[in-house]
Amino acid sequence: MQYQTITRDDQDGIAILTLNRPDVMNALNTQMRAEITHAVTEAGQQARVVVLTGTGRAFCSGQDLGDRANVSNINLERTLRDEYLPMLMAIVDCPVPVIAAVNGTAAGAGANLALVCDVVIATESASFIQAFSRIGLIPDAGGTWALPRTIGLQRAMGAALFADKISAAQAADWGMIWEMAADDTFAEVWMGRARHLAKGPTEAFKRIKQVMRASSGNSLEDQLILEGQLQGECGHTRDFKEGVLSFLEKRAPAFEGR
């Protein structure tokens, strides 16, 4: 696929996908959603970590409302089912870690695009806004799933009802995101995190994603059984053997990702 709304840059096992519609604050239109879905799916088979970030002053301002000429003709259910669901599930099902490097405003579906990623790192001037109620909608793009699980029902409800801007510092304090970095070191921080993951035990990371995301729907017994199954699979990887050997030899491991 020839990308027109995003770019892809590969560095040392890291696939950096950059939303590239800065004139509309990287708002999501049909083409961008298709390109993100394709790029994440492809990068998950080729790279050892994927980074999703934005160009300009925003990460993503959400749905491109200018993408529809007539509001009365918008079929939101179809759009969410046929365009958002494949994009978000491509991230969830990606076999390698996906980092959201939130470089600025993340609003509406743009905020929830970030929150569905495995790790969110935001610059200190970034913000998250569940802006849906401002135009008579409910949070979508996975927001009603992610928010109660990350920040609890009360804060999720307040974020949805009031549509207040949540600063990066507040998001970090609430546990909505993993890390906030100073604006002048932001790129260095997220790239350092990406390099760390790219050199890590990829097969273990794949299973960490699987077992963590399964936990909210499992009983303790089911989760313990799944842990045992996936841990058994990890025990047969080259990276496990290298990890043990490097520990015994008191040196840094050289994981191959297999």
Give the pLDDT confidence of 174-229 residue by residue, as tens digits.
999 999 999 999 999 999 999 999 999 999 999 999 999 999 899 999 999 999 99
Domain encompassing residue 94 = 6-198
Q: Is the pLDDT of residue 24 over 70?
A: yes
CA pair distance 121, 7, nearest whole angstrom: 20
- The answer to whether residues 14 and 29 belong to one domain is yes
The overall average pLDDT reported for the chain is: 95
Q: Is the pLDDT of residue 46 over 80?
A: yes
Determine the average pLDDT of the residues in 133-149: 94
Question: At 125, which CATH number?
Answer: 3.90.226.10
- The answer to whether residues 144 and 218 belong to one domain is no
Determine the average pLDDT of the residues in 22-27: 96
Residue the block writes with tokens 């790129």: 187
| This model's pTM is above 0.75 | yes
The pLDDT score that the predictor gives to residue 75 is 86
- The answer to whether residues 219 and 119 belong to one domain is no
Determine the average pLDDT of the residues in 145-151: 95
Is 254 part of any domain?
no
Characterize the bridge pairing of strands 14-19 and 6-11: antiparallel
Q: Is the pLDDT of residue 17 over 60?
A: yes
Is 1 part of any domain?
no
Burial class of residue 94 in the structure, from the number of CB atoms within 10 Å of its CB (0-12 exposed, 13-18 middle, 19+ buried): buried
Is 217 part of any domain?
yes
The pLDDT score that the predictor gives to residue 68 is 54
Determine the average pLDDT of the residues in 28-41: 97
Question: At 226, which CATH number?
Answer: 1.10.12
- The answer to whether residues 137 and 92 belong to one domain is yes
